[in-house]
Amino acid sequence: MSNSFRTTNSTGLINKDKKINFTFNGTIYHGYEGDTLASALIANGVHLVGRSFKYHRPRGFLGVGVEEPNAMVQLHDGNKSEPNIIATEVELVEGLKAKSQNCWPSVQFDIGEINNVLNRFFPAGFYYKTFMWPKSFWMKIYEPFIRKAAGMGKAPLLPDPDRYEHNYEHCDVLVVGSGPSGLASALAAAKNGARVILAEDKPNFGGSLLTDEVTIGNMSGKEWASDTISQLKSMPNVILKKRSQVFGYYDHNMTVMIERVSDHIENPSKYTPRQRLHYIRAGEVIVSTGSIERPISFGNNDRPGIVLASAAKEYMKVYETLVGKKPIIFTNNDTAYSTALEFIKNDIEPIIVDTRDSSNGELVKEVQQKGISIKFNSGIADTKGHLKINSAIIGKLDSSKESFISEETVECDCICMSGGWTPTVHLSSQAGNKLKFNDDIDAFVPDKKRQKETAIGAANGSFTLNQSLAEGFQVGFDLSNKFTDQNNPTNSPNSNEPSYEKHEKLWCMPLPSGKKPKRFIDFQNDVAVSDVELAIREGFRSIEHVKRYTTLGMAGDQGKTSNLNGLQYVSKIEKKIVPEVGHTTFRPPYTPVTIGAIVGREVGNHYLPTRKSPIHTWHEENNAVFVAAGLWQRPRYYPRGSEDMNSAVNREAANVRKNVGICDVTTLGKIDIKGPDAPEFLNRVYTNAWLKLPVGKARYGVMLREDGMVFDDGTTSRLSENHFHMTTTTAQAANVLSHLEYYLQVVWPDLDVNVLSTTEQWSGIAVAGPKSRDLLSKLFPDVDMSNEGLPFMGLVDSSIDGIKARIYRISFSGELAYEVNVESNYGLYTWKKIMEVGQSFDIQPYGTEALSTLRIEMGHVAGAELDGRTIPFDVGLNSMVSQKKDFIGKRSLSKDAFTESDRQTIVGLVPLDKKTKIPEGSHIIEDNSAVAPIPKLGHVSSSCWSVEYNNPFSIAIIKDGKNKIGKNLYAVSPLKDISIPVEVVSSHYVDPEGSRVRS
Amino acid sequence: MLEIKCPYCGKRSQNEFSYGGDATIKRPQLGEEISTEDWDNFVYYRDNPRGKHSELWHHVSGCRQWFKVSRDTATHEIFDTCKMNEDFNV
Ligand SMILES: [Zn+2]
């Protein structure tokens, strides 16, 4: 039965000369170039494509495009595997592999179908009711069960191998949708000189013009579409994008569009992205997204073979494919008659069931003239056929249309239904447009706009071709006139289409006598009429609540075919008009979007920028193990031979204490501060005094936030009267700069000070250890390195091999130490030079781990202690706080909570066994045998192995810490399930007098 | 994503800026005697209006200037932006 459902005509858009092979559920089929996976399967007689979400009922295609709620498939294998793809949106490509999802073991025989038999146990709100208690069942029993039963497709476990790109665009007018109104508006706007982007989701421009028998000017609709596209293509101010769905409308006219660049190409070039995400900031957005046909609810209206009438027509006209050979057309309006006529053109006589009493529409008459009789005042009550429809029960409606007066069974292989049309208002609604209900078309249309967005054509409820074209040309001209001064309108050509009579306000059929089959409203979420009835019976009134309780209109589908039928049914039961019921919110994305496209190129190493010091290559060549410090890559330690991290860190730290070490501190934040008010500014920013710092001296400074918490610390040096060099921690560098700019620009604009980041202009090299003076004396023979010549916190300018260098005598390690700063480009050279000269002093590089060890031993605070929850008094910085002057955050320090006598303070901890390392983050408690909740005294902020004493040492911040020194407490880590007896000691574990830095 | 007009650089996308809170807050003078309540009001308490809000933004990935934005917190409509030493026109 290969392609036995193809028509014999060749008026569509497929190329029957080019066969394309594909696999569905393991069977090989072929279709043609231009087919979608859906049209190719239907042409091969395959309608059964999946199982429904809740009841695992067999499901087939309902639609032909984005509106498709059922036919979601899993595409490809392995790392290219992709779940929940709408088969109607997949262009056929050689070798395509697709399979059904949500079924086991197969789509023909699915265990989950038991849910359908047991459906009285799966009513609306089932999940909420059944799985509420006992609580302990949730993780182990309920959740796995729900996951297995409700599984849609499977997410691939391997990294996505495809390439996705992001693109940013600006335009005057973005037109979304290329039907008659979209083409008209794009043409009018472009001819008037505006920069236009026209976006079309499908592979072909034209929208309804590709399927409707109409004329525009002296051309057919299809010819006019292609002529208009040719004109637009020739214009330099127009970008045409097909296979491009505008799926989201965000603030300030930012729209996001997904373009399928190479999904339809058999062997795309390596550098072609699979998809491209466009961020389009448009001056004006024209929403010409058309309308979607509404289904009708009737008994078992979800069997494979039951499709929308417009879909059946498009399959015939565009894809040369028949959804069936024994069709029933079931409608409440005239438009479905064009589907009937298309069947007749293909020598198939449909049975026509119309809920209305009569219609004098042109198409209805044309059908009647062909000798086809119409069953007016009738509806479909029920259907039969397990995996595919095989017959329908057609009933005669009584005068109230609330029940059937007679029923007959009619054989068929498809039903093409039409409940009228719903404008596609999703984008307008996302843009904040307050929709209004239009009683003529029984649907919501855009009304009060919040953004620069205008809906036209069917999306605006203008269903006739004349209206659509007129609106398109007018709006395209009006809006483009905001951007150009050409004032060049384009006239709307005459058009001709059949006249239509009104639809009937009937979207839900009565039940057949003596039976209660499910009448579905939302196919994707498996919501039937009975579920809506139940929700209302149980007291859910707000439409938003009904939506959540029943899941109507949720998820990927966003209620494209179900929304209004749901509202209409609620309004019927509630005896309210639809506008009183209101509508739910439409949310982006309009259609599902691959996560890879949203991520774009920001994957792997591109996830974040990487910052490297100019000395980075040396670290690499010397076996450094790196650690991320913000965006920076810093050497963590430099293992030798088979050394593990602990041995390497201990060796590096011990060498600083004994000989001399060298550490790359380029990553420290550096800020150049200039201006006559610079000393006053620093005096306000830092907690200590700055007015009298002599030129040529550095000073340690602490800055607070206004709430009194320590914000950052570092040394700042006075280079000349009005010129300072500030250093910040690596982590806070950017925040400190913003902080300074805030106070200078917003709070104290009268201060004459400029600040500028110089972090990347300077390379910093710390040289620390008892032999550092001798080493530097050799490197800088012209500089007097004696304690008098360059004292602690002094600085001096010099040079090394002709390179200007600034030497600061500052120390983070607690040893005699210096920091050499050179222009960044000379960082690597200088580092190598110091290493070379340092060989005779047993110099070794040390990384961030040894750096931490050294500062922890000394009780110097860092980020772990300055965690945004500590004031200066908590972390032993009392002497840094000036009593004489005001500064940022000072007033907070006198608040009651900050002056309590037993406030948390910094202490040192040593395990009693002198062996067990105390995990960072451990809680400090007094009584190890107490039962929970145990009062917590504080926590361990930093831990190291003390190379000075050869035992573990930690810093902790604990309540009333200064009175706890000498006491034994417990450090407990529930995570690691350990409790360590510890002695509280001073946080200044090594050289508490600070004599080494001054030696 | 909002589009914000920096008074120095022109219209740029929101991702170039960072938000800086209520622009009408005045920091107490240095050395000013101030009650704990008034200080707490300055440090912690902010109005959370629905509607027009005068606020600070910082053009961090641009000219690094702080400036004022008058924005509707419900609709995100931006009525005006101006430099720190200017007043809004609307
Ligand atoms: Zn700027």
Q: What's the A281 CA to ligand 1 centre distance in angstroms?
A: 19
Is A644 an interface residue toward B (CB < 8 Å)? no
Closest-CA distance of chain A to residue B40, Å: 8
CATH architecture of the domain covering A1-157: Roll (3.10)
Whether residues B42 and A741 touch (CB distance < 8 A) is answered with no
**B85 vs A contacts (CB less than 8 Å):** 749
**A886 vs B contacts (CB less than 8 Å):** 30-31
Three-state secondary structure of chain B: CCEEEECCCEEEEHHHCEEEEECCCCCCCCCCCCCHHHHHHHHCCCCCCCCEEEEEEECCCCCCCEEEEEEECCCCCEEEEEECCCCCCC
Res A499: pLDDT = 93
**Interface contacts A/B by beta carbons within 8 Å:** 58
Which member of A684, A746, A886 has the closest CB to residue B66? A746
Closest-CA distance of chain A to residue B9, Å: 16
Tracing tokens 């001056």 back to the chain, one arrives at A283
Is A448 an interface residue toward B (CB < 8 Å)? no
Closest-CA distance of chain B to residue A657, Å: 42
The half-sphere exposure of A556 on its side-chain side, counting CA atoms within 13 A, is: 20
Is B9 an interface residue toward A (CB < 8 Å)? no
Q: How many CB atoms lie within 10 A of CB A486?
A: 12
Is A741 an interface residue toward B (CB < 8 Å)? yes
**A281 vs B contacts (CB less than 8 Å):** 3, 13
CATH architecture of the domain covering A164-291+423-496: 3-Layer(bba) Sandwich (3.50)
Is A746 an interface residue toward B (CB < 8 Å)? yes
Looking at domain A900-998, what is its CATH homologous superfamily?
Aminomethyltransferase beta-barrel domains (2.40.30.110)
> Is A192 within 8 Å of A487 (Cβ atoms)?
yes
Which member of A251, A254, A706 has the closest CB to residue B43? A706
CATH classification for the domain delimited by B1-25+47-90, as one of 2.40.128.50, 3.40.190.10, 3.30.2270.10, 3.40.50.620: 3.30.2270.10
Give the span between the Cα atoms of A952 and A981, in whole angstroms.
12
Q: What's the B80 CA to ligand 1 centre distance in angstroms?
A: 15
Identify residue A457 by its one-letter amino acid code: G
Which member of A738, A885, A896 has the closest CB to residue B58? A738
- Report how far Cα A225 is from the mean position of its chain's Cα atoms: 36
Of A815, A812, A835, A810, the residue nearest A769 (C-alpha): A815
Q: Which fold has domain A504-594?
A: Arc Repressor Mutant, subunit A (1.10.10)
Residue ranges of domains in chain A: 1-157, 164-291+423-496, 295-419, 504-594, 613-667+760-866, 669-757, 900-998
**B1 vs A contacts (CB less than 8 Å):** 250-252, 254, 279
Q: Which residue of A has its CA nearest to B41?
A: A707
The residue-averaged pLDDT of B54-75 equals 97
The SS3 call for residue A378 is: strand
Sequential DSSP letters for A287-345: E---EEE---B-BTTTSTTEEEHHHHHHHHHTT-B-S-SSEEEEESSSTHHHHHHHHHH
Of A48, A50, A3, the residue nearest A22 (C-alpha): A3
> Is A520 within 8 Å of A526 (Cβ atoms)?
yes
Q: Which residue of A has its CA nearest to B77?
A: A252
CATH classification for the domain delimited by A613-667+760-866, as one of 3.30.1360.120, 3.40.50.720, 2.40.110.10, 3.20.20.140: 3.30.1360.120
Of A685, A736, A681, the residue nearest A706 (C-alpha): A685
Closest-CA distance of chain B to residue A738, Å: 8
Closest-CA distance of chain B to residue A687, Å: 13
Give the span between the Cα atoms of A175 and A280, in whole angstroms.
11
Closest-CA distance of chain A to residue B1, Å: 6
Q: What's the A251 CA to ligand 1 centre distance in angstroms?
A: 20
Closest-CA distance of chain A to residue B2, Å: 5
Q: Which residue of A has its CA nearest to B34?
A: A891
Which member of A281, A747, A885 has the closest CB to residue B27? A747
Whether residues B2 and A892 touch (CB distance < 8 A) is answered with no
Give the span between the Cα atoms of B79 and B40, in whole angstroms.
30
CA of A658: how far to CAs of A184, A636, A652, A943, in Å?
Answer: 82, 20, 10, 21
Does the domain spanning A295-419 belong to CATH 3.30.565.10? no
Q: What's the B56 CA to ligand 1 centre distance in angstroms?
A: 13
* A504-594 and A669-757, same CATH topology: no
Give the span between the Cα atoms of A86 and A953, in whole angstroms.
60
Structural class in CATH, domain A669-757: alpha beta
Whether a cis peptide bond, with omega within 30° of 0, leads into A105 is: yes
Interface subset of A 261-280, CB within 8 angstroms of B = 279
Of A610, A612, A743, the residue nearest A671 (C-alpha): A743
**A741 vs B contacts (CB less than 8 Å):** 58, 64-66
Closest-CA distance of chain B to residue A707, Å: 6
Residues of chain A with pLDDT under 50: none
The pLDDT confidence band at residue B28, using thresholds 50, 70 and 90, is very high
Of A321, A323, A299, the residue nearest A309 (C-alpha): A323
**B56 vs A contacts (CB less than 8 Å):** 746
Three-state secondary structure of A848-876: HHHHHHHHHHHCCCCCCCCCCCCCHHHHC
Give the span between the Cα atoms of A456 and A461, in whole angstroms.
8
Give the span between the Cα atoms of A650 and A946, in whole angstroms.
8
Res A68: pLDDT = 96
Helix axes A645-658, A848-858, angle to 10 degrees: 60
Question: pLDDT, tens digit, for every residue of A668-681?
Answer: 999 999 999 999 99
Is B39 an interface residue toward A (CB < 8 Å)? yes
Identify residue B3 by its one-letter amino acid code: E
Give the span between the Cα atoms of A789 and A285, in whole angstroms.
71
Q: Which residue of B has its CA nearest to A894?
A: B36
Q: What's the A378 CA to ligand 1 centre distance in angstroms?
A: 68
The whole-chain average pLDDT of chain B stands at 96
Question: pLDDT, tens digit, for every residue of A28-87?
Answer: 999 999 999 999 999 999 999 988 888 889 999 999 999 999 999 999 988 899 988 999
Is A745 an interface residue toward B (CB < 8 Å)? yes
> Is A944 within 8 Å of A953 (Cβ atoms)?
yes
Whether residues A252 and B85 touch (CB distance < 8 A) is answered with no
**A254 vs B contacts (CB less than 8 Å):** 1, 3, 13
Q: C-alpha dihedral over A320, A323, A329, A330, to 10 degrees?
A: -130
Which member of A252, A747, A896 has the closest CB to residue B3? A252
The half-sphere exposure of A212 on its side-chain side, counting CA atoms within 13 A, is: 23
For the record, the structure tokens of A353 come out as 């069931």
Q: Rounded to 5 degrees, what angle do the CA atoms A741, A743, A745 make?
A: 60
Which member of A250, A706, A707 has the closest CB to residue B1? A250
Which member of A707, A886, A896 has the closest CB to residue B31? A886
Give the span between the Cα atoms of A426 and A176, in whole angstroms.
12
